[in-house]
Chains A and B, each alone.
Chain A
Amino acid sequence: MELFNNLLLGFSVALSLQNLWFCFIGVFLGTLIGVLPGIGPLATIAMLLPITFNLAPTSALIMLAGIYYGSQYGGSTTAILVNLPGETSAVVTCIDGYQMARQGRAGPALAIAAIGSFVAGTICTLLIALAGPPLAEVALKFGAPEYFSLMLMGLVTAAVLAHGDMAKALAMTALGLLVGVVGTDVNSGMARFSFGYPELTDGIGFVVLAVGIFAVGEIISNLGETEERQVFTSKVSGLMPTKADLKASFWPILRGTGLGAFLGVLPGTGPAIASFSSYMLEKKLSKTPERFGKGAIEGVAGPESANNADAQCKFIPMLTLGIPASAVMALMLGALTIQGIAPGPQVMTQKPDLFWGLIASMWIGNLMLVVLNLPLVGLWVSLLKVPYRILFPCIMGFSCIGIYSVNNSAFDIYMTAIFAVIGFAWLRLECPPAPLLLGFVLGPLMEENLRRALLISRGDPTVFFTRPISLGFMLVTLIILILMMLPMVKQKRAVITD
């Protein structure tokens, strides 16, 4: 009954008035940015990270997590009502969700998206609670070679599964590792790549990098687009799905959850891949595949469950191994570190209130989202009418204040300006910045573990292949790389990511 006791502890933490409040703020903000196209969870969490410095670690994590999964809910609202993905993961929902809305069934589409997400959230919360402790137990036995191989696997899978050109994604990962090197080397005390600036000997700030690229760089790119965002909204009437709707959605929701959970634990696979795979699966399994694209409810139920399951299960490697499986998780890890908590398997035993409190809060947050979202649809729709020219100066304001407050340093602001320009160039050259961010976070850790591994093995690099767990990670990495280079898979991948 340890699980029961743990969850009880979790709920006692998450149900405190303060944490409930931060959970609410998190999911509310998350839905808001999820609804608005052009600003994602990554930029928002990066902007708000400095605000959380003053909070208790548990409250801070609860709020940031709420923003993350809340944005998955919000993204589907825009997809269904406006045929625009509020988040990239909602691209698939546009297909059948918008068709349903045009047929006057926007209500059931929104409801089934929320129900599917809630079911997925519930199952994945349980999954984290069940899988967390044994995984952390295994992870405690990891030595330097295992950590290095695991991180390598994470980086490679993240890069090859990223959107677009694989070689570019791998190169961006290497570049991220290189940017992570900037600063003082812990072993020799030598300042590397500091270009003579004392400020750079502390390394480049994570918030600077993330906000520069994902907030300011993104705005520059958006302002360059010529077309104006247009909002068509249909009236939402009658929220409740019919019995037939619920019956048709039952298995797609469960299948989507399973698929999303599986892909979620894998590093690097964004929610977009989970929702797309689920859509393809449902279409293949359907007896009437010709309905897809014309308002099939399964085409909303499956992908919406899948992307939420994916988003939640991304927490498993972050919480148990201390390894971020996506750029957003890298930010969460940053938030932990800033709070003075060393990420890794020991978090669960040393900070049980944080670990279980966060897990319980995710379930509570998912419940809040269902209760909040459906009645507030009208509010979200009216928000969509706020033009971008009003929105973007506000984003600029919050970004700049956020960055300045990290170190009270104007230098960080200047660095942000530089990364905004570079980040914009990357967007135009279609060099994906998310793998770079992942590499940046893991860079110092990887170097340290590589150094240690080679020290134990007396400089023999075969150490990564002679220890069984490490060998396993290396083999998976290799298999994924080879698979992705096969012509058949390559074609499929091109279809999925385009």
Chain B
Amino acid sequence: MNVELKDNQRFLSGLMFLGIGAIAIYMAQDYPMGSALRMGPGYFPIALGGIMIAFGLFELVIGVLKPARVKGDNWSLRALAILPLATVIFGILMEHTGFVPALVALVYISAWAGPQFKFWEVTLIAIFLTAASVGLFIYALGLPYPLFVGY
């Protein structure tokens, strides 16, 4: 099977493990290593970093020898960009405008990542979900969030 390296899932995973292991060891240099008798805070992370590098190298080699293609047809870039964005905006709005605007914005932006965006349908979801959440979380469970900041 002929798979380009950028589509080779084993190669890419190996690269990721290798990278994380290297970063872990690099960062853990600042933590005292200690000895086996008295393990310092650096001991465990460095050992784990070494294990990660070993597995990373193994996957790299296997990936070149026996390539396997990345799962799925595409990287679903639309959802990959929009959903984390929606999550972050929820966090910001929770802090500054309150529970209701944050939730409504979350529903609209998330729905935008879907295959079709029907305005009325999304509005209904937003109304229903907000009403249910206000009832459940704010009134029934008593979470201390303002519905709207300033009101």
Where the two chains meet, the residues of A that have a C-beta atom closer than 8 Å to any C-beta of B are: 51, 54, 165, 167-168, 170-171, 174-175, 177-178, 181, 185, 187-188, 190, 192-193, 216, 219-221, 223-226, 228, 388-390, 392-394, 396-398, 400-401, 404-405, 408, 410-411, 413-414, 416-418, 420-421, 424-425, 427-431, 447, 450-451, 454-455, 458-461
Residues in B with CB closer than 8 Å to A177 are 44, 48
> A390 vs B110: C-alpha distance in the bound complex, in angstroms?
11
Chain B interface size band reads 35 or more
Most A CB atoms within 10 A — which of B13, B56, B59? Answer: B13
**Interface majority SS (helix, strand, loop, mixed), chain A:** helix
Docked-complex contact B86 and A404, CB < 8 angstroms: no
List 12 A-B residue pairs with CB atoms under 8 Å apart, sorted by A's residue number: A167-B59, A168-B55, A178-B20, A181-B45, A190-B32, A219-B83, A220-B76, A220-B79, A223-B78, A397-B107, A413-B87, A428-B70
> A459 vs B38: C-alpha distance in the bound complex, in angstroms?
7
Q: Which residue of chain A has the shortest Cβ distance to B20 in the bound complex? A: A175
Q: How many residue pairs between the two chains, A and B, have CB atoms under 8 Å in the bound complex?
A: 198
Docked-complex contact A410 and B9, CB < 8 angstroms: no
Residues in B with CB closer than 8 Å to A461 are 36
Docked-complex contact A428 and B129, CB < 8 angstroms: no
Q: Which residue of chain B has the shortest Cβ distance to A388 in the bound complex? A: B114
Instruction: Give me 18 other A-B pairs in contact (C-beta within 8 A), A165-B10, A168-B10, A413-B88 excluded.
Output: A51-B141, A177-B48, A192-B28, A193-B27, A193-B45, A220-B79, A223-B76, A223-B83, A223-B115, A224-B79, A389-B114, A394-B129, A400-B102, A417-B87, A429-B16, A430-B9, A431-B16, A451-B44
Docked-complex contact A54 and B44, CB < 8 angstroms: no
Where the two chains meet, the residues of B that have a C-beta atom closer than 8 Å to any C-beta of A are: 9-10, 12-13, 16-17, 20, 24, 27-28, 31-32, 35-41, 44-45, 48-49, 51-52, 55-56, 58-59, 62, 68, 70-76, 78-80, 83-88, 90-92, 94-95, 102-103, 106-107, 110-111, 113-116, 121-122, 125-126, 129, 133, 137, 141-144
Residues in B with CB closer than 8 Å to A185 are 31, 41
Residues in A with CB closer than 8 Å to B74 are 224
Docked-complex contact A224 and B83, CB < 8 angstroms: no
Those 9 A-B pairs whose CB atoms lie nearest each other, nearest first: A224-B76, A413-B91, A459-B37, A171-B55, A410-B91, A417-B84, A223-B79, A459-B36, A185-B41
